[in-house]
Structure 1
Amino acid sequence: MEPKQHMNSPDYSHIKVVGFDADDTLWVNESYFRETEEGFAALLEGYETKNKIDQELFKVEMQNLGIYGYGIKGFMLSMIESALDLSNGEVPPETLWKILEMGKTMISHPVELLEGVEEVLQALQPHYRLIVLTKGDLLDQERKLEKSGLIDYFHHVEVLSDKQSSNYAHLLEHLQIPVEEFLMIGNSLKSDVLPLIELGAQAAHVPFHTTWAHEEVKDEEQLRKDYLKLDSLRDILSYLKH
C-alpha cells in the first residue's frame, strides 16, 4: 500500500532503516516511575513535604546517573539514598525493604504495548530494516523486549549508555547504516530526535503523555521545524511505504 500524500510531507524515499526507541514509544514505562515516586513520597511523608521529597529524589538521580546509568535498578538505589538523606539516617529498615519491593514490582511489571505498535511494525517490516535503539539497564530492557512479543520484528537491538549524537554516530557507523538512510522514531525530543537531526539523519517525534524532567528540552529547541511531529505512532504509516 502506498503512503498517503501530505502537503509539505518530508521525503523519506531514501530511508532504508527505521529505528525505534523502546520505553514510552513501544511500551509504557514512565507512568510506572511516576506511580512509584508517589508511593515513595507517601512512605517518607513523616520526614518532609511531598514537593521536597520529589526534589530530593530527582537531585539524587541526577547525581547518580554517571554511576548507575539509566534504569530501574539505579532508580531503586537513588530512592534508598534519598530516604537516608531525608531522614538523617533514621529511616527504619522496614521502609528500606518497602522501597526495594517497589523497585522489584516495577521490574516484574507486565509489558504494556502502546496502541498501534504491532500494526506499525507489521506494516513496515517487509520494506525496511527495523532496529531498536534504547537506553537503560541491559538486563531489564532485554526482559521487556522478550516479554513484549516484538523481538522478531527487529534486525538489531542496541541498549545505549546514553543517547548523544556521538552515541548514535558510532552505532550507525558500526552497523554500516548511512546517516541519510536512517529515520529514528521516539517520544523524547532530547534523546530520540534532536541528536539525530544534528547528525543529518531524519527523526520523528511521537509524544508520550508523561515526560521525565531530565528529558525535557527548552521551548526554543521544540520550535525546530526539521523533524516530523506525529500525534500517534500509527501516523508514521502516512509517510513510509507499507
Structure 2
Amino acid sequence: MEIDFSNIKVIGFDADDTLWVNETYFRDTEELFADLLEGFETKNKIDQELFKKEMDNLELYGYGIKGFMLSMIESALELSNNRVSQATIMKILNLGKDMISHPVELLDGVKEVLLALKNKYRLIVLTKGDLLDQERKLERSGLSEYFHHVEVLSDKKELNYKNLLEHLEIGVDEFLMIGNSLKSDVLPLLNIGAKAVHVPFHTTWQHEQVSIEENDYKYLKLNRLEDVLGYLK
C-alpha cells in the first residue's frame, strides 16, 4: 500500500517495545509470580486473575511497573485468602524493583534510525506509563539527544494525541507515529488524520491486542524499524 510521507515534518516514537525491550520483562515476572503462588492456585488461574486485577486497577493506578506491583500483591492476597506470607509479599516487591532497575536493552537499529532522521525531522517520544520510570529509562538509554520533546501520556487515545499535537502546534497532516501497538500507536492516529507505521514486537500485552481488517486502515507495517528509512527521504 503506497502512503505519501512527503508532508511529514514531525515523527513520534513509542518507547516500550519500539525503542527498547519492555514487555518481555513483564512476561518473565509473571512467570516468577506464578511460581511464588503455586501452592495456592494453578499457573493458568494465577495468570488470569492477575490480568483481571490489572484491568480493574488500570483507571486507579495507570500503566507501568508500580501499578503492576500493586496488582500482583492484591492478587496474591486474594488467591491465597490472605494466607500468603510476609516473606512472599517482600519477594513480590523485589520482583517489581528488579524490573524498575533492569538495564535498558535497545532494540536493533534504533540508534541508526534516529541518527539518520534527527537532522531531517523533529523527533519526539510519545509513551505512556509511570513518568519517573519512563524518564529513567530514557536517560539510561542514551537516546535523549535525538529528541526535541518527550511526553509521557496517561493513555494513548485519540483525544490524548489530538490535545498534545495542538499543544505542540503540530498539524495532524505533518505528523507520523511509529510504534509496536496497533491499539495505542496506530489506530488512534489514523482516526484523527495523522499517519502511522506499525513495527510489531514479538510479544504483545493482552490489553494491547486488537483484531482488525488491515485493508480497512491505511498504514505502513514493517518487520524492522530500520526499514522505515526506505520510506522517509
**For 1:224 and 1:150, how far apart are their aligned partners in 2?**
35
3-state SS of paired residue (1:132): strand
Match of 1:179 among 172, 177, 183: 172
1:227 aligns with 2:227: no
Root-mean-square deviation (Å): 0.8
**For 2:212 and 2:185, how far apart are their aligned partners in 1?**
17
Question: How far did 1:10 drift?
Answer: 1.4
Residues 72-122 of structure 1 deviation map (CA, whole Å, 9 limit, x = unaligned): 000000000000000000000000000000000000000000000000000
Report the number of matched residues: 233
Match of 2:122 among 112, 122, 129: 129
Runs of 4 or more off by more than 6 Å in structure 1? none
- The aligned residue for residue 5 of structure 1 is none
Matches within 5 A, 1:115-126: 115-126=108-119
- The aligned residue for residue 4 of structure 1 is none
- The aligned residue for residue 33 of structure 1 is 26
Unaligned ranges ≥5, structure 1? 1-7
3-state SS of paired residue (1:133): strand
- The aligned residue for residue 237 of structure 1 is 229
**For 1:224 and 1:134, how far apart are their aligned partners in 2?**
25
- The aligned residue for residue 166 of structure 1 is 159
| TM-score, with length taken from structure 1 | 0.95
3-state SS of paired residue (2:108): coil
**For 1:128 and 1:224, how far apart are their aligned partners in 2?**
28
Matches within 5 A, 1:57-96: 57-96=50-89
Structure 2 counterpart of 1:53, one-letter code: I
**Cα contact 1:136–1:160 (8 A) shared by 2:** yes
**Cα contact 2:3–2:218 (8 A) shared by 1:** no
3-state SS of paired residue (1:19): strand
1:20 aligns with 2:13: yes
**For 1:167 and 1:10, how far apart are their aligned partners in 2?**
24
**For 1:86 and 1:223, how far apart are their aligned partners in 2?**
43
Structure 1 counterpart of 2:228, one-letter code: I
**Cα contact 1:9–1:239 (8 A) shared by 2:** no
Structure 1 counterpart of 2:227, one-letter code: D
Q: Matched residues, percent identical? A: 73
Structure 1 counterpart of 2:151, one-letter code: E
| TM-score, with length taken from structure 2 | 0.99
- The aligned residue for residue 150 of structure 1 is 143
**For 2:12 and 2:211, how far apart are their aligned partners in 1?**
24
